Amino acid sequence: MKPAAYATLNLQAAGHNLAMVRRYAPDAKIMAVIKANAYGHGMIRIAKALDATDAFAVARVEEGIKLREAGIGQPITVLEGFTCALELAASLRYQLDAVVHCREQINLLAESLERDRINVWLKIDTGMNRLGFKPTEFAGVHQRLMQLPVIKKPINLMTHLASADDQSGSSTPLQLELFSTLTADYPGVRSIANSAGILRWRQTLTEWVRPGVMLYGISPFPERTGGQLGLTPIMGLYSRLIAVKSVATGESVGYGGSWLCQQPTRMGIVAIGYGDGYPRHAKPGTPVLINGRKAPLIGRVSMDMISVDLTGLPVAQVGDTVTLWGEGLPVEIIALAADTIPYALLCGITQRVQIFEE
């Protein structure tokens, strides 16, 4: 018995997408970003599927510990770094490399009595205004870190791009220029590019790249799909029709009665909803696929179910498989229709959705 809502993971696609990163950035080492449970795909299984990567990156120390406990041996960078003395101690014990982005972390490093050494990425805020030291602080901070015995030398350097998905804007060239000028005379390797940088800004390719979303086969650009970039999506999300009925003109469908039937409609109920991670804000008209044909969403998404218009699919019947996204229906399309981004849809898959590895 197949569960009502399930996701399939094509793990071979992970290897293919990693190889595509190497094609886009042939001279760079790859830090595969598998934070947030590998964008909802399952961190350990994706780490194993991406075994050919040079390193991994996660957001939090506890994610790094989980990877080590699962036997992952590659270098692991913690993108938010340690946030207290205990996390610093754990980073040393589990050999997690740290992003150093604020004064409080420097104080923790200075107070540390540990004998082990930690590999760090000094993060410069070149315009994202999230984590990192200001350009004016960089030289002083670098000098201070050089004096701390707990830090492995040389110190690695990184920044993060705020708008690399925007081809026309000036922000990426400005960030790049600032970072290059600031770091020109320093030893240590550099890392700038996320997926959008790798795919669209060759100038941002340095010794290390940090692909995330493209490894899952998904495009970072709203106007392109992963398939169009040569990537293969890993995840498909599926359910099935559990009822078919007719709705008369003038009747409403779903909570709030917001969808009003304009003509006699053959309607299907699909066993998936926001309780599974299907986006509650998907607009009427958002497509699903049934037997390879599109059917539009009608009414509001509820916790366990959605309604779709089967008028154009007279043979669709109870039991038929419904693709919410996957083969033939890119998740990028669903994200646009729900006013969100594919990242949020992938991360939002809930515990109720059973996963099948392919």
Ligand X SMILES: *Cc1c(COP(=O)(O)O)cnc(C)c1O
Residues binding ligand X (CB under 6 A): 33, 35, 79, 160, 194-196, 210-213, 220
Instruction: Pick the catalytic residue from 2, 152, 245, 255.
Output: 255
Q: How far is the CB of 233 from ligand X (least distance, A)?
A: 14
310 DSSP assignment? -
In angstroms, what is the minimal distance from the CB of 257 to ligand X? Answer: 39
Instruction: Report, in Å, the least distance between residue 162 CB and ligand X.
Output: 11
Helix 85-93 / helix 103-111 crossing angle, nearest 10 deg = 70
Please list the alpha-helical segments (H only) found in the chain: 11-24, 35-40, 43-49, 61-69, 85-93, 103-111, 135-146, 171-183, 195-200, 331-337, 342-347
User: What is the distance between the alpha carbons of residues 184 and 166, in angstroms, rounded to a whole number?
Assistant: 26
CB 296 within 8 A of CB 308: yes
The SS3 assignment for 287 reads strand
CB 209 within 8 A of CB 77: no
Q: Which is nearer to ligand X, 196 or 288 (CB)?
A: 196
Does 238 participate in catalysis according to the annotation? no
Give the CA count within 13 Å in the CB-facing half-sphere of 116: 13
Least distance from ligand X to the Cβ atom of residue 197, Å: 8
Nearer to ligand X, 99 or 261 (CB): 99
* CB of 196 or CB of 241, closer to ligand X: 196
How far is it, in rounded angstroms, from Cα 327 to Cα 317?
21
DSSP 350: -
For residue 327, the tally of other CB atoms under 10 A from its CB is: 15
Q: Which position's Cβ is nearest ligand X?
A: 212
Nearer of residues 58 and 118 to ligand X, judged by Cβ: 58
- Annotated catalytic residue within 24, 35, 216, 278: 35
Provide the residue type at 180 as one letter. S
- Asked if 102 and 124 count as a contact pair (C-beta separation under 8 A), the reply is no
Please say if 255 is a catalytic residue. Answer: yes
Q: How far is the CB of 214 from ligand X (least distance, A)?
A: 6
CB nearer to ligand X: pick between 217 and 273? 217
Q: Which residues are catalytic?
A: 35, 255
